[in-house]
Amino acid sequence: MPKVLVVEDNKDNFKIVNYALVRAGYEVLWAERGEDGIDLALKEHPHFILMDINLPGIDGMEATRRIRESEARAIPVIAITAHAMSGDRETIISAGCNGYIEKPIDPITLVEQIHKIIGQDANENPDR
């Protein structure tokens, strides 16, 4: 079962994302802070990371920048953004995110949206 990491400080949002990922067969790791997300990425090497942007402490963009400078740099990172931030696509991509998904999260299409961003092999685990 591929492991994935969700960095999200809002428990209700996490529950929706967790539901969709578990239903699709993923094992879900959860971090509520960016710093903890980086630690888990390094320790667990998840198949991909869903990264909330607005977090306590360092934000999701800074966490992504630090992941890109770490041994976990190859892990795809998909940003989860509030609707008001949808104009910030270039900032999100320049921080190192592979793409972004806008809130509110639709649990029915979430995994499909992830697969569109990271490719068809999202359920496979070729290099880990």
| Six token digits for residue 16 | 């929706």
Distance CA 80, CA 6 (A): 10
Q: How many residues bind Mn ion (CB under 5 A)?
A: 3
Interface residue with Mn ion, options 33, 35, 36, 54 (CB under 5 A): 54
Residue 59: DSSP 8-state: -
Q: Please, are residues 25 and 123 in contact by the beta-carbon 8 Å criterion? A: yes
- Nearest distance in Å: CB 121, Mn ion: 29
- Count other Cβ atoms within 10 Å, centred on residue 2: 16
Indicate which single residue of 9, 35, 36, 62 sits in contact with Mn ion (rule: CB under 5 A): 9
Among 38, 52, 61, 101, binds Mn ion (CB under 5 A): 52
User: What residues line the site for Mn ion (CB under 5 A)?
Assistant: 9, 52, 54
